[in-house]
Amino acid sequence: MLSRDTWKEIFETIQKNKLRTFLTGFTVALGIFIFVTLFGMGNGLNNTFAKFFGDDATNVFFVFPGRTTIPYKGYKANRRIEFENKDLTDIEDKFSMLLEYISPRITRNALVTYNDESDNYSTRAVGPAHQFAEKTILMKGRYINENDIKGKTKYAVIGRLVEQDLFKGEESIGKFIDLGGSVFKVIGVFQDDGGDNEERNIYIPFTTRQLIEKNTDKIDQIILAFRPEIGYAGAMAFEGKLDAFLRDKKFISPEDPNGIFIRNVADNLKQNQQFAAVLQIIISGIAFAVIISGIIGISNIMVFVVKERTKEIGIRKALGATPRKVTNSILFESIFITTISGFVGMIIGVVVLGQIGGKTLEDDYFITNPYIASGTAVFATILLIVCGTIAGYIPARRAAKIKPIVALRDE
């Protein structure tokens, strides 16, 4: 523990050298502040990737029909591909060992009315399994089931914000809404972690939508999930087999890039996780480079400090101070300043991260809730202080070895 005289000496020295103290403290505080904010931004980017994929299942394929660009087996180019109900059963039969569930989706926009309230909403005609693909969370009531599909019932599951907009706090379950000219009974209300846009959707049985549209059997897209136990490699193999199967079934050339599209969420997630990891490494490297520059700055300032105090050191040594005592007095002052400044910079950085995290930052820069773990921030601060002390020890030790007569002659 430092003696009272040592503390008094430290504070007197600081008071006499305000500029030097400010420069040393500013270098440390700025280094930690930049490290904390950069590292926090990197975590914010990771949060964005996690949020983007977190509201949907990750073992899912989204299969979209396209328009052919290459003639194939007697079929001309520019042919529009369409999916049908039979495609669902064919996929189930072909890939039953790999498939966990499957659902079609038909998306339409419609004017939805309840009493005097109305608005335009997106309606999704789906099967029961769609609930798992979208991670739809039921707040009350129930979801579409197999009986609804078979019976082509006019039942609707509405989003939380649809209920809020149309019913104005009134109970919605069991009430009837006009959906694009057809009357549907509300059987459930859901919420979704995907945000407001997801919660303004309305789900109905896909067979009911097909009945309304002149009893067609066409579907817009197919959503299917593979069994998680097959792993990433198995998912990639499954994607290739599914693509080949549908191309053969729909007479699409294997070389045609536009005939059919499969979005593999697992593959997208893995690629984005890898990108985020590399980005975080780069950001961490930049942040540590800032810390190193701070250490170099402390060392340079310590060289200046020692040079400025050469005569003082000579007088103290002439009065009997040992080299160790001279070195310690300089280092204790430096440690005190860097410690206070380091933790001030860390606190300011954490506060700034908390203040800048918001909707604007997320929308404009894809950074969601930037943060830094307290342990990481404290470790970086202590690391800078320790390394700065080591960097400052060299000039301090060198000064302590100067002979008193040489120090007193210094100009």
pLDDT tens sequence across 82-100: 999 999 999 999 999 999 9
Same domain? 348 vs 257 = no
Q: How many C-beta neighbours within 10 Å does residue 281 have?
A: 11
- The C-alpha atoms of residue 262 and residue 257 are separated, in whole angstroms, by 11
245 vs 85: CA distance, rounded Å: 16
pTM (whole model) above 0.85: no
Chosen domain end from 244, 264, 284:
264
Task: Quote the CA–CA distance of 243 and 249 in Å, as a whole number.
Answer: 10
In this structure, are 99 and 208 located in the same domain? yes
Specify the DSSP element, H or E, that contains 390.
Answer: helix 374-400
Q: Are residues 404 and 280 both part of a single domain?
A: yes
Q: What's the pLDDT score for residue 361?
A: 63
321 and 348 in a single domain? The answer is yes
Q: Within this chain, do residues 375 and 334 fall inside the same structural domain, yes or no?
A: yes
pLDDT at 284: 75
Q: Does residue 23 sit in the same domain as residue 121?
A: no
Same domain, 106 and 215: yes
Last residue of a domain, one of 264, 292, 327: 264
Give the pLDDT score at 162: 96
Span 387-400, average pLDDT? 73
Write the pLDDT tens digit of every residue in 326-340: 777 777 777 888 888
305 and 212: one domain?
A: no
- Average pLDDT of 52-58? 63
Measured CA to CA, the distance from residue 389 to residue 386 in angstroms comes to 5
Asked whether residue 151 falls in the same domain as residue 281, the answer is no
Question: Is the same domain home to 235 and 317?
Answer: no
Q: Which residues of 343-372 are buried (b: 16+ CB within 10 A; e: fewer)?
A: bbbbbbbbeebeebbeeebbeeeebbbbbb
Higher pLDDT, 265 or 323: 265
Do 107 and 170 sit in the same domain of this protein? yes
Residue ranges making up the domain that contains 289: 4-53+270-409
The pLDDT value recorded for residue 118 is 94
User: For 247, what's the count of Cα atoms within 13 Å in the CB-facing half-sphere?
Assistant: 21
- Region 387-396: what's the mean pLDDT? 73
Residue 330's pLDDT is what?
73
| 104 and 83 Cβ atoms separated by less than 8 Å | yes
**Helix residue ranges per DSSP H, 196-249:** 206-212, 231-249
The last residue of a domain, from among 264, 293, 320: 264
Using a pLDDT cut of 90, give the percent of the chain over it.
46
Counted domains in the chain: 2
Single-letter code of the amino acid located at 157: V
307 and 246, same domain (yes or no): no
